[in-house]
Amino acid sequence: MFEKKMKWIWVIQMGKTYIDTVKYVVHADLEIGGMVEKPDVVGALFGQTEGLLGDELDLRELQKNGRIGRIEVDLHPRAGKSQGKIQLPSSLDMVETCILAAALETVDRVGPYTAAIKVEKIEDTRNVKRRTVVDRAKFLLRNMLTTEIPESGEISEMVREEVKV
């Protein structure tokens, strides 16, 4: 509990917004025609989508209100260009998340270079959690059936032992 609280305080102090429930994660591929840094990419995302979708779906406001999480950018330089991946965690509904994902694809410049963003997939994190819950429940049930509930032969043997005593 203490660690969680300290992490939350650190996140707020560092200017990042903590997001409680991530429902979806937008995964996108990124290609830029020159060498750039991660803050350049994030700045371009915020700058070029600002005002595009109205105040309700403005990235800055959504992040400030905790509706989207920190945008993660993983860049790799290749032959004088930058390639990488973007991850955008969202607690918005499915439709709004898809609209944001489509808006990311409209970003066409990062710094002085041309850029192309293509959304690879939108992952529903709740499906992953459901799958984990189902797998764990199967394991627990299997374990309970093999260790907790005695077989009919074992029941008979237990009764015989009690009668002997």
> Is 65 contained in some domain?
yes
pTM over 0.75: no
Q: Residues 64, 118: one domain?
A: yes
Nearest residue to 88 (alpha-carbon basis) of 115, 125, 53, 113: 125
Q: Residues 114, 138: one domain?
A: no
What is the pLDDT confidence band of residue 1, given thresholds at 50, 70 and 90? Answer: very low
Q: Residues 143, 108: one domain?
A: no
Q: Residues 66, 91: one domain?
A: yes
Q: Residues 138, 100: one domain?
A: no
Residues 142 and 57: their CA atoms lie apart, in Å, by 46
Q: Residues 63, 117: one domain?
A: yes
Cβ atoms within 10 Å, residue 26: 22
Identify the domain containing residue 117 by its residue range: 19-124
Q: Residues 157, 107: one domain?
A: no
Residues 132 and 159: their CA atoms lie apart, in Å, by 40
E-assigned strands of 3-158? Answer: 24-32, 72-78, 81-90, 109-110, 113-124
| Amino acid letter, residue 48 | Q
Contact call for residues 124 and 26 (beta carbons, < 8 A):
no
Q: Residues 103, 149: one domain?
A: no
> Which residues have a Cβ under 8 Å from the Cβ of 72 and sit 6 or more positions away?
86, 87, 88
| Interval 10-37: pLDDT, tens | 333 334 445 668 899 999 999 999 999 9
Domain tally, the chain: 2
Q: Residues 91, 144: one domain?
A: no
Residues 44 and 111: their CA atoms lie apart, in Å, by 7
On the question of pLDDT at 114 being above 70, the answer is: yes
> Is 108 contained in some domain?
yes
Q: Residues 102, 137: one domain?
A: no
